[in-house]
């Protein structure tokens, strides 16, 4: 039984955006990019479009989306507390310092 995280059977892993070659695995994609980098006078490899990610890649992508959404939701709530005058920006910044990923997003945002 397959699910949304499984690769699609019979579908290539990736296609080169520059020359159109298709590959079946991540390793083949890496080999193509390395080979084209070595052949390039400008030190640029070809770019691969991953059209059928591996199961671990699909899972990692979904988890990344979930974590990003959670960080955004938490920062919006924190911003609401600051805008509502319940806490100061400095208090929020101090309190959030315990979580580096949140702190980085807080520092980079318009909060």
Q: Of 9, 37, 53, which marks where a domain is finished?
A: 53
Between CA 78 and CA 41 the distance in angstroms is 50
* 3-state SS, residue 49: strand
What's the confidence (pLDDT) of residue 104?
Answer: 86
Query: What is the number of domains present in the chain?
Result: 2
User: Can you list the alpha helix ranges (DSSP code H) found in 1-111?
Assistant: 26-39, 55-83, 89-96, 100-108
Confidence of residue 111 (pLDDT cuts 50, 70, 90): low
Domain residues for 10?
1-53
Closest CA to 12 of 37, 29, 31: 29
Question: What is the token pair recorded at 40?
Answer: 């390039």
Q: What is the pLDDT of residues 27-69, one digit of tens each?
A: 999 999 999 999 988 889 999 999 999 999 999 999 999 998 9
Considering the domain architecture, whether residues 7 and 42 belong to the same structural domain is answered as yes
Considering the domain architecture, whether residues 67 and 110 belong to the same structural domain is answered as yes
Q: How much is the pTM? A: 0.73
């Amino acid at each position: 039984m397959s699910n949304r995280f499984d690769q699609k059977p019979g579908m290539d892993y990736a296609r080169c955006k520059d020359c159109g070659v298709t590959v079946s695995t991540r390793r083949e994609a890496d080999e193509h990019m390395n080979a084209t980098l070595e052949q390039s006078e400008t030190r640029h490899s070809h770019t691969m479009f991953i059209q059928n990610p591996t199961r671990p890649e699909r899972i990692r992508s979904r988890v990344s989306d979930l974590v990003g959404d959670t960080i955004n939701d938490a920062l919006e709530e924190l911003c609401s507390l600051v805008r509502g005058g319940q806490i100061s920006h400095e208090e929020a910044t101090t309190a959030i310092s315990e979580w580096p990923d949140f702190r980085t997003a807080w520092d980079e945002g318009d909060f």
